[in-house]
């Protein structure tokens, strides 16, 4: 379950990393800063997809474990149409309030035009296929079709690798690289969504998956409550993570655009080990949910412990690699062979420094992801929600503002490992409490 999910997470990460990589070939730090601040709007798609993807998917897995496949079909259909409605609402709101929103996120006069172009195409025009593809992948994964979900998301990412340079450097004129990257990303998302829809329809012949409106309307009120009990905390968990990144961008932009561009590079590189660990946890979730509902507590505990051990191993290796290769990793996203070389070198220097500090958070981030997914699998939405709020609003974001004020940009980078460590300690307490309740 985990291996194809990890692959899809990594390749899905390419959607944003490829854009930054090719934009970095221009040597224009302002273009890179613009895509960095719009990343939070793009990643909000992930948060919104978790509402019906994680909430609906984990409920479908629990209903399958309980032998109630008819209601599982109702829930899957309800999740499908709910995702479309939510995506349309989000795209509309971003489109209406785009300019003040981008200014709030830290867009300057030098970056606003690039940020506006990217947001319009990727978030407003491409919002529905982006969110719907993630939800379809969640539902497929939770009914045992992890490989199909991986192929859909991975295929879109691979396609983006080829379409980005085509639109950026061949089809559109110089100076329109950000627009070209946005068109390539939206087209890749749309094709991935079409494939996942095909795979979903095919899987519905043997799995409890559906897009029939009548089955969506037939979903029980109790099921809707259970879906939102897990989906809302999961969406808020990712949404609060994005809120924290928004705060990082605002504080970084207050220093200067080069700090903002450097932090944008770091937040892309550090997503690689995070994507592996999130994929591991997503592969774990349906197994934990199924065994929780079927009463097999021994296998449930074994699955939880196995995922935690492998996740910590991944985190340890990531720290070693990023400490050793922070500068080369940062250079991948900004060329020093074109544009303003002095500006590019300064940005890379900041990025390497920030990366060496922030990568230390990887093990405690794994603990936070792991415990949250475990509680979602057991249907403990209240603990998941509590963890999300405490992790971001009590620990990380306050540390961010405090340390930035005391130590400047070094303090801003240091807030991540400190805040995540405090959140992980609280998460372990919540998970222990949830398991005790499950076994009582």
What's the pLDDT score for residue 224?
87
Planar angle of CA 94, 98, 102, nearest 5 degrees: 115
DSSP assignments along 286-342, one per residue: HHHHHHHHHT-HHHHHHHHHHHHHHHHHHHHHHHHHHHHSHHHHHHTTS-SSSS-HH
Identify which of 384, 382, 385, 362 has the alpha carbon closest to the alpha carbon of residue 373: 384
Q: How many CB atoms lie within 10 A of CB 373?
A: 27
- Could you report the per-residue pLDDT of 51-103, keeping only the tens digit for each? 888 888 888 888 887 788 888 889 989 999 999 999 999 999 999 999 998 88
What's the pLDDT score for residue 363?
94
- Could you report the per-residue pLDDT of 130-157, keeping only the tens digit for each? 999 999 998 998 887 878 887 887 788 7
The helix, strand and coil proportions of the chain, stated in percent and rounded to the nearest 5, come to 85, 0, 15
DSSP state of 166: I
- Could you report the per-residue pLDDT of 233-271, keeping only the tens digit for each? 778 877 887 888 888 888 988 888 888 888 888 888 888
pLDDT, greater one: 290 or 428: 428
Planar angle of CA 33, 35, 39, nearest 5 degrees: 115
Query: Quick check: 143 and 199 in contact, CB under 8 A?
Result: no
What's the pLDDT score for residue 133?
92
- Could you report the per-residue pLDDT of 288-324, keeping only the tens digit for each? 888 888 778 888 888 888 999 999 999 999 999 999 9
State the pLDDT confidence band at 128, using cuts at 50, 70 and 90: very high
Identify which of 366, 288, 297, 359 has the alpha carbon closest to the alpha carbon of residue 323: 359
What's the pTM value of the predicted model, to 2 decimals? 0.73
Domains of the chain: which residue ranges?
2-439
Q: How far apart are CA 368 and CA 361, in angstroms?
A: 11
The two tokens of residue 270 are 């550090």
Q: How far apart are CA 132 and CA 153, in angstroms?
A: 11
What's the pLDDT score for residue 314?
92
Say how many residues make up the chain.
440
- 3-state SS of 411-425? HHHHHHHHHHHHHHH
Burial class (CB in 10 A: 0-12, 13-18, 19+), 150: buried
The two tokens of residue 140 are 């497929």
Q: How many helices (H) and strands (E) does the chain have?
A: 19, 0
Q: How far apart are CA 278 and CA 43, in angstroms?
A: 14
Examine the pLDDT at 440 and tell me if it is beyond 70.
Answer: no
Examine the pLDDT at 438 and tell me if it is beyond 70.
Answer: no
Q: What is residue 174's three-state secondary structure?
A: coil
The two tokens of residue 164 are 């980005």
């Amino acid at each position: 379950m985990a291996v194809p999910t990890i692959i899809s997470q990594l390749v899905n990460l390419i959607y944003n990393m490829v854009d930054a990589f090719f934009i970095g070939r221009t040597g224009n730090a302002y273009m890179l800063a613009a895509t960095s601040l719009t990343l939070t709007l793009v990643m909000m798609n992930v948060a919104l997809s978790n509402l019906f993807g994680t909430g609906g998917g984990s409920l479908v897995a629990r209903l399958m474990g309980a032998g109630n496949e008819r209601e599982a079909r109702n829930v899957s259909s309800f999740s499908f149409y709910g995702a479309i409605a939510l995506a349309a609402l989000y795209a509309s709101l971003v489109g209406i309030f785009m300019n003040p929103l981008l200014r709030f996120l830290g867009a300057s006069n030098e970056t606003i035009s690039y940020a506006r172009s990217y947001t319009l195409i990727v978030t407003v025009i491409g919002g529905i296929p982006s969110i719907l593809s993630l939800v379809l992948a969640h539902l497929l994964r939770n009914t045992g079709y992890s490989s199909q979900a991986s192929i859909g998301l991975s295929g879109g990412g691979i396609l983006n690798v080829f379409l980005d340079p085509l639109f950026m450097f061949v089809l559109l004129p110089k100076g329109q690289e950000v627009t070209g990257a946005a068109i390539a990303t939206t087209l890749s998302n749309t094709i991935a969504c079409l494939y996942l829809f095909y795979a979903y329809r095919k899987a519905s012949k043997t799995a409890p998956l559906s897009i029939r409106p009548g089955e969506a309307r037939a979903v029980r009120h109790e099921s809707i409550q259970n879906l939102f009990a897990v989906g809302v905390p999961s969406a808020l968990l990712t949404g609060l993570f994005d809120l924290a990144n928004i705060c990082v961008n605002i504080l970084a932009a207050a220093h200067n655009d080069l700090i903002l561009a450097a932090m944008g590079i770091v937040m892309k590189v550090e997503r690689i080990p995070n994507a592996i660990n999130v994929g591991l946890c997503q592969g774990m979730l349906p197994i934990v949910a199924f065994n929780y509902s079927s009463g097999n507590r021994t296998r449930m505990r074994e699955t939880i412990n196995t995922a935690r051990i492998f996740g910590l191993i991944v985190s340890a290796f990531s720290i070693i690699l990023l400490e050793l290769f922070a500068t080369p990793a940062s250079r991948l996203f900004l060329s020093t062979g074109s544009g303003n070389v002095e500006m590019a070198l300064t940005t890379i220097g900041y990025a390497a420094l920030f990366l060496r500090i922030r990568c230390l958070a990887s093990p405690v981030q794994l603990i936070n992801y792991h415990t949250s997914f475990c509680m979602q699998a057991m249907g403990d939405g209240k603990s998941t929600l509590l963890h999300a709020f405490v992790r971001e609003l009590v620990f990380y974001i306050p540390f961010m503002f405090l340390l930035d004020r005391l130590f400047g940009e070094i303090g801003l980078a240091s807030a991540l490992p400190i805040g995540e460590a405090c959140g992980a300690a609280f998460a372990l307490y919540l998970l222990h409490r949830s398991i005790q309740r499950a076994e009582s």
